Amino acid sequence: MAKQGRKHIEALSRVDRSRLYTPEEAITVAKSTSYVKFDATVEVHVRLGIDVRHADQQVRSTVVLPAGTGRTVRVAVFAQGDKAAEALAAGADKVGAEDLAKEIEGGTIDFDVAVATPDMMSVVGRLGRILGPRGLMPNARTGTVSPDITRVLREIKAGRVEFRADRQGLLHVPIGKVSFSDAALRDNLKAFVGAVIAAKPSGAKGTYVRTMTVATTMGPGVRIDVAGAQALAGS
């Protein structure tokens, strides 16, 4: 086992591992544990009471974080004609059709999110084996396949993030940066928890949200009281 550094041990000492914190307390404590020299990301990790092996227990959705994510998101748009012009006007970083597909097939993937108009899916479809494993495949369920390119781009640039439960029923989602105010992170957490609750699948039985933890990059986890987080989302 790797030896823990002095800064990490000091960060751990600031967290009471035996208690559950209110959302507001958890955010404050998590920020205080950040010891890296860059503006660390603040992430929320959620364990759900689902079995993702069943089709009726999948959790996948998006949320627009009111305070944004604190990072610049590069967006590639598959569109042509007037829609391509609309995408450029709305702030797309890259726009194309067959040319963009060939660029991706050649190994150039210099974007964080891919969006497509519905008529472009015949082109995008063949890129599934490349974009799929990277989580970049446009999907109507998450709103990245849409004729309303301007709205989608506006939301993505403003701080829309996608979340999807992994094989263990876990969610890992960034809600901002350590440089954000506590109030901004609280608002983002509120929006995220509300979206998770809204995405509860029909097949979920028993306790849906089991645990919730907030942490900064390389920092220790701070456990959040789930009931308090759900109350925050409903306020």
Q: Which DSSP string do the residues of the chain spell out, in sequence order?
A: -PPPPHHHHHHHHTS-TTS-B-HHHHHHHHHHT--SSS-PEEEEEEEES--TTSGGG--EEEEE-TT--SS---EEEE--THHHHHHHHTT-SEEESHHHHHHHHTT----SEEEE-GGGHHHHGGGHHHHGGGT----GGGT-B-S-HHHHHHHHHHTEEEEE--TTSEEEEEEEETTS-HHHHHHHHHHHHHHHHHT--TT--S-SEEEEEEEETTPPPEEB-HHHHHHHHH-
What's the average model confidence in pLDDT over 57-72?
Answer: 92
pLDDT band with cut points at 50, 70 and 90 for residue 126:
very high
Q: Over 50: is that where the pLDDT of 43 sits?
A: yes
The per-residue pLDDT for 9 is 84
| Domains of the chain: residue spans and CATH | 16-69+160-234 (3.30.190.20), 75-158 (3.40.50.790)
pLDDT band with cut points at 50, 70 and 90 for residue 10:
confident
pLDDT per position as a tens digit, 183-221: 999 999 999 999 999 999 999 989 999 999 999 998 999
